[in-house]
Amino acid sequence: MNNDDLICVAAIAGAFGVKGEVKLKPFTEAPENCVGYGPLLSKQGKVLLTPESYRLVKGGVALKCPEVATREQAEALKSTKLYVPRANFPAPEEDEYYAADLIGLDVKSTEGKRVGTILNVVDFGAGELLEIKPLQVKGKSGASFYHPFTKAGTPKVDIRAGRVVIKIEEAE
């Protein structure tokens, strides 16, 4: 399986309790969705965890699976990222995008100037933001910056063309 066919949905935060439950830090919109797409795979596509049951806990999801029987086994997996095949996800609605589809796209301004590339999509609680790595200028690259991922702030997203267009407000 090609790594591009896998989407990271969670990371193992460690053990939960003493009976071998694994605590997951979900990267999905609804925390419980990280266990709803089938077996959880390694970056290489190997099955790591097969969800049997889960429950929401503070800061994540506690998962019971046959691959982990003890607290020690769960702790040994700490920080492991978990993936599912892209094909297991539903197609996004119109004007909705998976973060994995946006990361790496070129960013242009509404004036047509190339700005940089998308590093990440984050939400600190006030709406989604694109983390953008600016172009290198004279061999130097500035620090990444955040830009609102809204219709007004990002008026055009063209996945096929590999770019987004952002509206940059000038400081007054």
Q: Give the tens place of pLDDT for each residue, 110-161.
A: 999 999 999 999 888 888 999 999 987 766 667 899 999 999 999 999 999 9
pLDDT attached to residue 142 = 77
Asked whether residue 83 falls in the same domain as residue 147, the answer is no
Cβ distance 149 to 127 under 8 Å?
A: yes
Domain that holds residue 148: 99-166
Q: How far apart are CA 11 and CA 162, in angstroms?
A: 28
Cβ distance 10 to 56 under 8 Å?
A: no
CATH of the domain at 69: 2.40.30.60
Q: How far apart are CA 1 and CA 73, in angstroms?
A: 26
Q: Does 105 reside within a domain?
A: yes
What is the residue-wise DSSP string for 63-103?
EE-TT--SHHHHHHTTT-EEEEEGGGSPPPPTT---HHHHT
CATH of the domain at 104: 2.30.30.240
pLDDT attached to residue 139 = 67
Higher per-residue pLDDT: 99 or 164: 164
Q: Does 93 reside within a domain?
A: no
Asked whether residue 144 falls in the same domain as residue 105, the answer is yes
Mean pLDDT of 5-16: 93
For residue 86, give both structure tokens. Answer: 């892209």
CA count, 13 A, side-chain hemisphere, 136: 3
Q: Which of 88, 117, 139 is the last residue of a domain?
A: 88
The predicted-structure confidence for 35-71, as pLDDT tens digits, reads as follows: 999 899 999 999 999 999 999 999 899 999 999 999 9
The predicted-structure confidence for 21-38, as pLDDT tens digits, reads as follows: 999 999 888 899 999 998
Q: Does 172 reside within a domain?
A: no
Q: Which residues lie below 8 Å from residue 164, measured CB to CB, with a gap of 6+?
A: 102, 105, 106, 107, 108, 118, 130, 154, 156, 157, 158
